[in-house]
Structure 1
Amino acid sequence: MSTTGVTVEFLRGQAVVEKDGRSGMRVVVVGGGIGGLALGAGLRRRGFEVAVFDRDTDVAATGGYHITLDERAQSALRELVAPEIMQRLLASASALRLRDRDAFWDRRGRLLGRGPDLSGDSGIDVDRITLRTLLAEQVGDDLHLGRTVSDVGRGDDGAPRVLFADAAPVSADLVVGADGTHSLVARHLAGGRTNSPAGILGFSGRTLRTDLSPGEQQRLGPRSGLAIGPRGAALYVGFLDPVGNAVLDAPELRMSVTTGPTYIWGAMFPESHATGSLRALRDGELQAALLRRFRQQGWAGHTLEVIARADPRSVAAYRFNAASTRAAELAPWPAGRITALGDAVHATPPTAGMGAGAAIRDAAALLRQLGRVADGDTTTAEAVHQFEAGMRRRGSEVLTLAMRTVRLILATDTALGAAATTVATPVLAAAARLCHR
């Protein structure tokens, strides 16, 4: 195999570093989501020969919640992308420290409590489209869109191979599955699924703050919040303002798709036949069905304004999937020249806001290990082994946090849980009023 015109040789799974300083290891990344693009960006910047394949034809054609990156995720990202990319990201991101404290409400919109003081928080929120676009730019010509992977395996020489539905196979020295919750690569490695439905269906949308009534603008405020009602109905309302709350005041670098104060909300219901039928709906039809279901469960009309006044084209449905919270059960395969990262291994519900950050940290950790291979300090097999050990710990951490909220929501979907929620929330609301007088 040749990369820059110099033949690459391998000895016992360890790559030889080429004379121009580039690594002779060829890495194929399956999946162009946040984790796959972050890894591709880091590998390209470090001098590896890399190819990232994704079935999407447009990196901007993505939905979901906004992405929260804590300091650990930002630090990992700095290892992967050029400083100018980080500058543009910060100029396009909303600072958590400029938000008000998060709020917790009941289905009537009564305040139950507030989250911690965020004034010292270094975390940021950013549109998924913005982050994915920046990462894709860093990957450059090594990103191949519109390529659907049909299988992975090994060639006659034992090297990993990636097979495509409509193109010739590609061989590599290392294949990394970053192909999300329904990962083909992880399924190949594990011999089956690596996650299962978490029992909740999610529905998301975007609503401009200025489209809400003055009363709701004041109640929701420049903060994120969560409301939980009986029978597993919940509504998360995330606040995003990359202009007014910009992390870095550099309008010339700003590229956020959100250009004003916006609520990016997520409705949640326990998965059932009734809620499952909502997944077949789209846009305004889905929006109307969500409103009907919340009203049937006794939610106050003003609390649903954020859904009612959303852009109908932004409303979408998806299932929460989750891997095991036990580290020992994540990546349950022997380390080798095919591995995976992010949701392909530790599929995480969005209830902790840490899934994308964990995938970025995975990418940085793998890059560090492969750097040791390129420097001649270890073998590929040992590097992958060390990477997967760390990934199991990271995955277990974020899954444990995310599943706490999932279990809380599901706990209200029982006769006892529904009764307890109905009785307790007025008491908590009264206590909150006394505390905030």
Structure 2
Amino acid sequence: MSMRVAVVGGGIGGLALGAGLRRSGYEVAVFDRDTDVAATGGYHITLDQRAQSALQRLVAPEVVRRLLASGSALRLRERDAFWDRRGRLLGHGPDLSGCASIDVDRITLRTLLAGAVGEDLHLGREATGVDQREVPRVEFADGTSATADLVVGADGTHSVVARHLAGGPTNRPAGIIGFSGRTRRPDLGPSEQQRLGLRSGLAVGPRGAALYTGFLDPVGNAALDAPELRMSVTTGPTYIWGAMFPESARTGALRELAGTQLRTALLARFRDEGWADHTLEVIARADPASVAAFRFNASSTRAADLAPWRAGRITALGDAVHATPPTAGMGAGAAIRDAADLLDQLGTATDGTTLVDAISRYEAGMRQRGAEVLTMAMRTVRWILATDTTLGAAATAVASPVLAAAVRLRGRTISS
């Protein structure tokens, strides 16, 4: 009899695992509380070469091809830019011409993976608890339950499964509240289109105010030129932006707003912090329905602190274990890599290795992966928070025009 696996959570990691298990012949059921796989944030995620290689082990080649046809290749965009709150250029990121990473809409990727899971995906099933008596059991809000040989919690930052295993939360607020939205490039004026360019950018000001503009163009910058396979929900050049402020009562009040009200309040907050109006155009021209707020949560950056439980027939992956702020763009990719490694380790259990030993090896690798991406993400979080001190705010205000002048001078020197 084949191993039965219950996956709790139908986000990117849970669906990737479910697709891989199904393709490998396991008896699998993926449960998610959503009733529509498109009911997720419209922002984008980055998949580096490691995440793409992991996906290739989990899904059929035609799914990978459809993903590449629907993804925006980083190698085709300009180098990232760093700005100050006045819109002055402070520097550039690395050359992306040799980069294999792609950006893809979360909705697009989730829809692709859900199709690969097929009838083994059960929507509208909210897990409320797990327990392990003779066999692992998942309990649902509707009073039903499901048993399996292995239960995997892929239920995100507020994971029911990981909380059960750890005996408490596996992450905590990182000190930043994020706000996201989508703005079509053609909706911006010519000067802002030219300044922002065909690239992503990050602007950081005093007092922890920051604005990231992620450039996504799955049509013009398609990683694979195969229009017949394209299914991206983004059909033209778009800035998917993320605004950030330190967590406080004032910032928390913004979380109560949505749509046009939230967009208006965000603009007012940035103006209060001294940001130039033209730098805020990307927010002002955003689709109001896309504007939303969310809290940054983070787990420990120490591998030894992650998955602090003894290996058994209930485990977890992705943000359920190593909740990662979006500041590194690697959280979803790490969850996919977790899924691929778990599938690989389960394959060894059929060769005489016990299931628990396989889970133990998987969790050891997951701790290292989680610590790696968390360390990268928290560098940016700590940098932003450092500007929210008296010294940090003053240093940011003083240093920005100096750096901007140096960039302008270097540009004139090169051109001459």
TM-score for the superposition, normalised by structure 1: 0.94
Equivalences for residues 131-170 of structure 1 within 5 A? 131-155=109-133, 158-170=134-146
Correspondence for 2:364: 389
Correspondence for 1:115: 93
Correspondence for 1:5: none
Measure the CA separation in 2 of the matches of 1:266 and 1:35: 22
Correspondence for 2:43: 65
1:429 to 404, 410, 414: 404
Measure the CA separation in 1 of the matches of 2:251 and 2:352: 53
Which AA in structure 2 matches 1:428?
L
Correspondence for 1:409: 384
1:397 match: secondary structure = helix
Listed one character per residue, the Cα deviations across residues 23-44 of structure 1 (whole Å, up to 9, x for unaligned) are x100000000000000000000
2:169 to 193, 207, 226: 193
Question: 1:168 Cα deviation (Å)?
Answer: 2.1
Q: Does 1:31 align with 2:9?
A: yes
Measure the CA separation in 2 of the matches of 1:399 and 1:237: 21
1:225 to 201, 204, 209: 201
1:244 match: secondary structure = coil
Listed one character per residue, the Cα deviations across residues 320-357 of structure 1 (whole Å, up to 9, x for unaligned) are 00000000000000000000000000000000000000
2:311 match: secondary structure = coil
Equivalences for residues 267-306 of structure 1 within 5 A? 267-306=243-282
1:243 match: secondary structure = coil
1:436 match: secondary structure = helix
Measure the CA separation in 2 of the matches of 1:45 and 1:287: 43
Correspondence for 1:17: none
Measure the CA separation in 2 of the matches of 1:139 and 1:95: 26
Number of equivalent positions: 412
Which AA in structure 2 matches 1:59?
V
Q: Does 1:380 align with 2:358?
A: no
The range that moved more, 109-118 or 158-167, is 158-167
1:179 to 147, 151, 155: 155
Question: 1:309 Cα deviation (Å)?
Answer: 0.1
Q: Does 1:328 align with 2:304?
A: yes
Correspondence for 2:180: 204
2:255 match: secondary structure = helix
1:319 to 275, 291, 295: 295
Listed one character per residue, the Cα deviations across residues 295-314 of structure 1 (whole Å, up to 9, x for unaligned) are 00000000000000000000
The range that moved more, 166-175 or 287-296, is 166-175
Listed one character per residue, the Cα deviations across residues 139-190 of structure 1 (whole Å, up to 9, x for unaligned) are 00000000011110024xx210001111421110000000000000000000
2:58 to 77, 80, 104: 80
Q: Does 1:398 align with 2:373?
A: yes
The range that moved more, 62-71 or 260-269, is 62-71
Q: Does 1:261 align with 2:222?
A: no
Measure the CA separation in 2 of the matches of 1:378 and 1:303: 58
Which AA in structure 2 matches 1:141?
E
Correspondence for 1:130: 108
Question: 1:436 Cα deviation (Å)?
Answer: 2.1
2:79 to 96, 101, 112: 101
Measure the CA separation in 2 of the matches of 1:316 and 1:270: 16
The answer on whether the counterparts of 2:42 and 2:290 sit within 8 Å (CA) in structure 1 is no
The answer on whether the counterparts of 2:42 and 2:107 sit within 8 Å (CA) in structure 1 is no
The answer on whether the counterparts of 2:48 and 2:102 sit within 8 Å (CA) in structure 1 is yes
Listed one character per residue, the Cα deviations across residues 359-418 of structure 1 (whole Å, up to 9, x for unaligned) are 0000000000011113x2311000000000000000000000000000000000010000
1:151 match: secondary structure = strand
Listed one character per residue, the Cα deviations across residues 102-123 of structure 1 (whole Å, up to 9, x for unaligned) are 0000000000000000000000
What stretches of structure 1 of length at least 5 have no aligned partner?
Answer: 1-7, 9-23
1:120 match: secondary structure = coil
1:193 match: secondary structure = coil
Listed one character per residue, the Cα deviations across residues 218-273 of structure 1 (whole Å, up to 9, x for unaligned) are 00000000000000000000000000000111110000000000000000000000
Which AA in structure 2 matches 1:241?
D
Measure the CA separation in 1 of the matches of 2:376 and 2:25: 36
Measure the CA separation in 2 of the matches of 1:154 and 1:262: 47
Measure the CA separation in 2 of the matches of 1:164 and 1:73: 31
Measure the CA separation in 2 of the matches of 1:130 and 1:206: 15
Question: 1:64 Cα deviation (Å)?
Answer: 5.2
Measure the CA separation in 1 of the matches of 2:284 and 2:124: 35
Which AA in structure 2 matches 1:290?
L
Which AA in structure 2 matches 1:424?
A
What stretches of structure 2 of length at least 5 have no aligned partner?
Answer: none
Structure 1: 4+ residue segments shifted above 4 A: none
Which AA in structure 1 matches 2:58?
L
The range that moved more, 296-305 or 146-155, is 146-155
The answer on whether the counterparts of 2:105 and 2:232 sit within 8 Å (CA) in structure 1 is yes
Measure the CA separation in 1 of the matches of 2:109 and 2:78: 24
Q: RMSD across aligned C-alpha pairs, in angstroms?
A: 0.6
The answer on whether the counterparts of 2:79 and 2:96 sit within 8 Å (CA) in structure 1 is yes
